[in-house]
Every structure is written in structure tokens, then in C-alpha cells.
Amino acid sequence: MSDINSPSRYTITAALPYTNGPIHIGHLAGVYVPADIYARYLRLTGKDVAFVCGSDEHGVAISMKAKKEGVTPKDIIDKYHAIIKQSFVDFGITFDNYSRTSAKIHHDTASEFFINLYDKGDFIEETTAQLYDEEAQQFLADRFVIGTCPKCGNEEAYGDQCENCGSSLNATDLINPKSTITGTIPTTKETKHWFLPLDRYEEFLKDWILKGHKDDWKPNVYGQCKSWIDGGLEPRAVTRDLDWGIPVPVEGGEGKVLYVWFDAPIGYISSTKEWAAREGKDWEPYWKDENTKLVHFIGKDNIVFHCIIFPSMLKAEGSYILPENVPANEFLNLEGNKLSTSKNWAVWLHEYLVDFPEMQDSLRYTLTANAPETKDNDFTWKDFQARNNNELVAILGNFINRVVVLTNKYYEGKVPAKGSLTDVDIETLEQLSKYPGIISSSIERYRFREAGQELMNLARLGNKYLADAEPWKVIKIDEERVKTIMNVALQIAAGLAILSEPFLPFTSNKLKNILNIDSSAGDGLNWNDVSTKEALLQSEHQINQAELLFRKIEDSEIQTQLDKLEATKKANQNENKKLMPQKDTITFDDFSKLDMRVGTIIEAEKMAKAKKLLVLKVDTGLDVRTIVSGIAESFKPEEIVGKKVTVLVNLAPRALRGVDSEGMILMTENADGKLVFVNPDEDSVGNGEGIN
């Protein structure tokens, strides 16, 4: 029997990003930062790790993007694969291999997997009615169809999933479906496909998940799996009618490709194969040895695929291990609104790296501290600024700077020998020695937010120790005591240099350079040394000069980012705003009958018992008249007194709630749906002037 608590190796996968757009902070917080923390930590503790990922290049989203931009799918995937891969490198995500599903090794691996199941008779072959776009002359799968979700009523559900309630759907489940290609109402047409009979695996899934992982899987993951299994599983298509993807490799599969949800998770296997071939390793133990621990890092929208469907595929194949854990995160919102690639409502990683050069760790820290581990969470630029300035700069950066500056000032950068220890010294060093275990416990339970805060607590310990010991005062009366104080403080600094590496890798490297310590495998200090070594820095060890680990972020920088988002919001509102259709054509004679004049509102009050109406007194230049206007929900009476307006003065009077209204104020709506006066800008235009 295997002991999964002390595995021989770890296979860590991170969800394959779609190459229909760059990486944004939602992807980072949900998947890539926690996965990288976990992989870095395991390597630091001497574990054998394969951390794999790659670009998912066969989704319908790719085809849609290509059609929209008038280019080929290959143009799209090549563009975004390059952006995504470089962004990960620049951000310090340490994949052992980053592949792509368009690679030959992946096509071969996915095809072999399909043929293996096909030859074993694990698929059901059925001819079914599918939605078909007559105008586009193609079947509609996934995101090529939109309609009303039968479960929650969301009118913008896709043919594979409702993003409002998270339900997995088939295109034929939608109410009032519509083609996203032409906008037409689809017909149905028969087509042959192969299905994975998930219902055959219900008992296996109940035993493996509902019994076997009740206590160690996150409640959000376990709950979604239980809901699916309890609802009864049905066969699910593994092929579809599309011209972009991996061709179905059996007779009768002409014009069809493997469904992306079937081929994408196999991308983890093909990426591992690619890595193993390059490194001269055998890939199979990382996927087929029971002493390997397999962990999938994903977002909550992928739980079903990684916990129900992919394990069923692996079980059907028979020689693969199953994931030991799938610590899926919830969603990260941005400034109170849902992140959206299509609406450009995001903080794009490649843009962040330009706007905040050499500040990768500030974003890594904020996303870890704000990780949506148990519920959806919100990223705000103000919180990002506060965490950087008040925690990274003021706590961690401040402690390190004081220690290094004082060591150089008092001892020319050499670690002083410690003398006799006080109870406080002993207690502080004991606390330091416990932090590797404390942080390890949090990481191994996938509580990365908690682990990151424990790291910051170690920096707080150092700050408190220095503040209480006051070496800058004691140096005047007891130089020997200061040597001990600074020795203890330097041990804490060295501990921080090592333990910060999974969370703040760029800072860790900078700090190791400042302290002149080596943490390379086999030679230098490692994770466990913080607990076991009597001293991380020996006396007389030479450190380097101080340099700032972090810089403060100014209000103006944050305002620039907020302005960028505000511009995006307005652009979306303008794009989404439905303009009033043109009315029937009129003649010039009809138009010339309209008498529009410049006027000024001189009085305004709410009409009693009328929510929307204001009673206005308007000086039209010809007279002062009463006009009743339905603008009370947009303006307070006192806001509009003195406002210059455009008035249709020859409109026949009309009684509204007993008040005769003698004209009409011209209004329109802005992108926010707020009423706006249509009025002349020039101050020199006087009341009564005609508008021609």
C-alpha cells in the first residue's frame, strides 16, 4: 500500500489558460499563485516535483475570437501563447514545463488516449439532434450558442455552462437558444458523436470522493461534486462538429474533433511527457505510480471537469493515478465587478508588469492575502496600495532595513558573536524555529492566505524584538548586549530570506544577496535549517549594504489605474447601450413647425404624490411658464435652479395631475443611463433664442 502522506514525488498541474486573451489577476489569484507557492515550497523541502501547465488552444473561444478578428485560429493561439508564456516567466511562476495543446506530442497523446478507450468499448456511439445554424452552415456547440439557463433563468447562458449559477449544460438544454455567429434561431439536425458514460462511474465516484475525501477536500469542491453525483450522472459527448481541434482518430470521425474538455486535461500528461523527454526522465511514474501525489490547481468553474469527468477518464483507462486533492478557489472580482476578458474588465498581468516594474511580489502578496479560497473576494487598487505600503514596506521592509543598516553601522557588515541570552532572546529564537512548521502546516492544507500572513507575523516578531530591545539606545551603555541583540535580529532576517521564497521569490533573492547567503540545493541553507540549525548566520559572516526591498506606491499611480478602469467601464456602457431606433421620416415642413428656445429654470419643486415629476418654472424669454418634467429620479430640485435648458415652447398644453404643463424640456441619457439636459454650452446664448 502507498503512503500518500509521504509520497515519492509530486505532480502538480495548473489549469491550462485559454489562448483567447492574456492572463489577468483572477487567473493568478485562483490558480497560478497558489500553485507556484505550493511547488516552490515542496522544492525547498527537497521533494521531487513536476509542475506542469500549457496553453489550451482548442476551445470554441479561440474559434470565436478568430472569426471576430477575421484571422485564423492559429494566428490567435500563437499571439496569446507567446504573451501568456512570457508573462508567467516575468512574474516568476516556476513551471517545470509550459506546453501547448497544439503541439504534436499533445495531439498524439490525446489521440492515443481516445483510441485506447474506444478499443476497450468505453464509449457510447449515438446519433442525436444538435443545434444547427442554417445561415452559417455549421453545428452549434459550446459558446457558439447562447440562451436562457433552464436552472436559474440567466438569459445569457452558454451552450456548455451557465456562468451565473455554475451549472454545466448541453446546448440543447437552453431555452430560446440563439446562434452567436449569426444571431439567428438555430434548427436541429442529426449528427453522430461518441459519449463517455459517466453514469457507469457513479459508484466509483461516490466511494472515491463522497467517502474517501469527505474530510480533506475543500467544502466548496466537495459540495459541488456531491451535488453533481447526487443529481445523477449522464453520458457526456467527447466529440463535436468543429473544424478546429484534434481530429477524431477513428472511422466515422471525419469533420469532427475531440471535445475540448476531453483533450485539455490530457494536456497535463502530454506536458509531463515533454518535460521528461527534455530532462531525460521517465514520465510514467509521475502519472502511474501510486506513491505519486497528484494535485490539480483550478478555479471553481473547472471543478466538475477535474473531479468528475477527468477522473472517470483516468479510471476508464485503468493505468493512471487519481488526484489526491483539487484545491479549487472561488472567483476574484475587480473593484466590485466580475472580471471579464471580453469586456476588458481586468488587470492584465503583462500590463501590470509594465506599469509596476520589478514589483511582482507586491501583486503576489496582495493576491495571496486576498485569495478567494473559500468565497469570492474582491481586488481593489486601494487595498493593493495599502498592503504594499502598510505591510510589505512598513513591516517586512522596515525590519530588514533596520537590521542591515545597524549591522553595517556598528560592525562593518559582519555578524557579531552573541553573548549570554536573556529569556526574551531565547523565546524569540524558539519562535523563529517554529515558523517553518507553522507555515508548512498551512501550505500543506492549501491555506495559502493563512501561510502568507504567518510569514508576515515572523516579520512582526522581528520588528517587535528590535523595538523592545532598542539597540540604538543600548549601544551607548552596553556594547556587548547589542552584539547579542543584532545577532538574534540577523537570524530572524535570514529566516525570512528562506521562508519568504514561495511567496515573495524576487524579494527572497534580493534579501539573500543582501545577507550574502546561499540557498542552492545541497549547498546552502534550506527550509528545515530554520528549525534545526543553532545559527543560520555564523559570527563574522559578512553581509552586504542595505537596499530597499520595496518602494511605496503613490496615490497618483493608483488613480491612473482607477482612471483606466473607469474608461473601460464607459466604453462598455457605450457599446452596450441600445440606441433608440430612428422614427418615421418627416418633411422639412414638419420640422419647421417645432419652436425650440433657450430657457432658464428659475423655480423647481417636487409634485406631491408623484415619484418622477418635478414642477418647473421656466423663463423662455417670451414668458415664464410652468412645465412638468419626469426628471425627479435624476435631479434634486435645488440642483437645477438656474440651469439653462432647451424648451419646445409650442407644444400644446397638457394637464398632468391637475397642473397644466406648457412645453417640454429636451433630455437624453448618458452611458450610465442618467438623464442629461440637451442645452447650449455658450454662456452668451440668451433666453428666448431660437434653435434652428
* CA 678 to chain CA mean position, Å: 41
AA identity, residue 557? E
- pLDDT at position 580, please? 54
Q: Can you read off the three cell numbers belonging to residue 642?
A: 438656474
Cα separation, 680 vs 692, whole angstroms = 12
- Please report the DSSP string for 206-270 in residue order: IIIIIITTTTTS-HHHHHHHHHHHHT----EESEEE-SSSPBP-STT-TTEEE-HHHHHHHHHHH
- pLDDT at position 2, please? 45
Question: Using CB atoms within 10 A of its CB, is residue 163 exposed (0-12), middle (13-18) or buried (19+)?
Answer: middle
Mean pLDDT of the chain: 91
- pLDDT at position 581, please? 60
The alpha carbons of the chain give a radius of gyration, in whole angstroms, of: 32
Q: What are phi and psi of 483, to 5 degrees?
A: -60, -45
Largest CA distance in the chain: 103
Cα separation, 253 vs 345, whole angstroms = 39
Contact indicator for 621, 600 with CB cutoff of 8 Å? no
- pLDDT at position 455, please? 98
Taking the C-alpha atoms of 467, 468, 470 and 474 in order, what is their torsion angle to the nearest 10 degrees?
A: 180
The verdict on pTM exceeding 0.85 is no
- pLDDT at position 1, please? 35
Contact indicator for 483, 418 with CB cutoff of 8 Å? yes
- pLDDT at position 585, please? 74
Please enumerate in sequence order all residues whose Cβ is within 8 A of that of 558, keeping only pairs 6 or more positions apart, or say none. 381, 382, 384, 385
Tens of pLDDT, residues 280-318: 999 999 999 999 999 999 999 999 999 999 999 999 999
Q: Low-confidence residues of the chain, pLDDT below 70?
A: 1-4, 166, 519-523, 574-583, 670-673, 680-685, 688, 690, 692
- pLDDT at position 161, please? 78
